[in-house]
Amino acid sequence: MTEYVVYDVFTDTAFGGNQLAVFPDATTLHEDKLQQIAAEFNYSEVTFVYPSENPDNTAKVRIFTPTSEIPFAGHPIIGTVIALANQGTPAPMVLELGVGPLRCTLDGNNAAFTTEVPLERFAEPAIDLVAAAVGIDPGKINTTTHNPIQAGLGLPFVLVELTDRGSLAACVPDTSVFRQGAKRYPTGLDFAVFAYVRDGGTISSRMFAPLDNIPEDPATGSASAALAAMLTDLLGGPQTLTYTQGQDMGRTSKIFATTTHNPTSVTISGTAIKTMAGRFIL
């Protein structure tokens, strides 16, 4: 039997934020079971923790969505750090991920990680296609700062700014259009769309990845980090951003991002609360 814990991440309230299952010691699990376990939980992500390959680091962490393994994601890192700390692992920690080692800190129940991975820009999907994917009028896409752009810090998203909060609330993803987008713009995630409204440093956001069995994500730290890096570049200076996500699905999340400029780094921080624990018996 292998123990696991479940945390709600980017919240300090149970049943808010983004659910995460963590296996703090996954060494007894068979490789061919990992994807099946992640699909069985059907959370946005599940993490499996192993001894580090480099003895100077804390642990190796593998992250799975319901459909695939991914190299990087925000709420799995925050939740895993807090879960390991609650089991006695001292902070700061260095976690080995698909994007390389990542330094993580802890202040009370607030965890943070900083990434210096360069922002990758993959494509600028057509406005009409992006609008149809999330079910809104193309005129509701705000191109003042940037056109829709597919970019990421190890995990790609279509970053699209909308004109107002009402338009964000009105989004209804169309899976058939997402399939078109994934075919035209293939990357690690299948045309995942991170839609947002910005008022200075305050951001309301939603993330849709229906082709990856994530109809909507309550909190997406990796997309928030990608947007923070892009705004740092486009606006020409360091950013301090507060994201509210998950409101439209009843799981409000708070994600905090700060950046440096020249060179660009992004720090993502947030809290998590333990809600469940159990044993995997197969």
Structure tokens at 90: 């001292």
Does the model's pTM come out above 0.85?
Answer: yes
Q: How many other CB atoms sit within 10 Å of the CB of residue 88?
A: 6
Kindly state the average pLDDT of the residues 79-100.
97
Query: Can you tell me the mean pLDDT for 60-87?
Result: 96
Length of the chain: 282
Look at 224 and 281; give whichever has higher pLDDT. Answer: 224
What pLDDT score does 46 carry?
98
Q: From 98, 11, 21, 65, select the one nearest 215 (Cα to Cα).
A: 65
Q: Are 146 and 234 in contact (CB under 8 A)?
A: yes
Q: What domains lie within the chain, and their CATH numbers?
A: 2-116+270-280 (3.10.310.10), 120-263 (3.10.310.10)
pLDDT at 132: 98
Q: Tell me the per-residue pLDDT of 153-198, one tens digit each, with 9 for 90 and over.
A: 999 999 999 999 999 999 999 999 999 999 999 987 899 999 999 9
pLDDT at 10: 98
Mean pLDDT across the chain, nearest whole number? 97
Which residues fall within 8 angstroms of residue 131, CB to CB, at 6 or more apart?
Answer: 137, 138, 140, 141
What would the pLDDT profile of 18-33 be if each residue is shown by its tens digit? 999 999 999 999 999 9
